[in-house]
Amino acid sequence: KAGVTQTPRYLIKTRGQQVTLSCSPISGHRSVSWYQQTPGQGLQFLFEYFSETQRNKGNFPGRFSGRQFSNSRSEMNVSTLELGDSALYLCASSDRDRSGANEQFFGPGTRLTVL
């Protein structure tokens, strides 16, 4: 099976712009989660989508949003970019079930730089 893929791998934007990142989960996985990784804050949970519905959300401002399509692919959008949004954005997919925590498979990430 192909792993989790994220596009683009690298992105440079300027303050005030918006950006859309894409994630394709492992085939058959219906849960997609997004994380932000920065040197100062570490790895922080953004949100999770399952069957096109947002199931959980972290403590990020409303400028961060996401969606999931019927084929489980997910996008996240950041509007009105700030310098502090520079980070590695990681996507993870899992074969979600209700019996407990599942292994999440991570993509290589998208490195966003805001100038």
The correct pick among 26, 66, 68, 109 for binding other proteins (CB under 8 A) is 109
Please report whether residue 101 would count as binding other proteins according to CB under 8 A: yes
CB 114 within 8 A of CB 83: yes
Q: Is the link from the previous residue into 39 a cis peptide, with omega within 30 of 0?
A: no
CB of 28 to other proteins, least distance (A): 15
The correct pick among 17, 18, 38, 43 for binding other proteins (CB under 8 A) is 43
Please report whether residue 87 would count as binding other proteins according to CB under 8 A: no
Please report whether residue 102 would count as binding other proteins according to CB under 8 A: yes
Distance between CA atoms of residues 66 and 22, nearest Å:
10
Please report whether residue 81 would count as binding other proteins according to CB under 8 A: no
Please report whether residue 85 would count as binding other proteins according to CB under 8 A: no
Please report whether residue 1 would count as binding other proteins according to CB under 8 A: no
Contacts 24+ apart (CB under 8 A), 56-64: 60/36
CB 89 within 8 A of CB 81: no
- Of 4, 41, 37, the closest CA to residue 22 belongs to 4
Q: Can you give the binding site for other proteins, defined by CB under 8 A?
A: 4, 31, 33, 35, 42-45, 48, 50, 55-56, 58, 90, 92, 94, 96-109
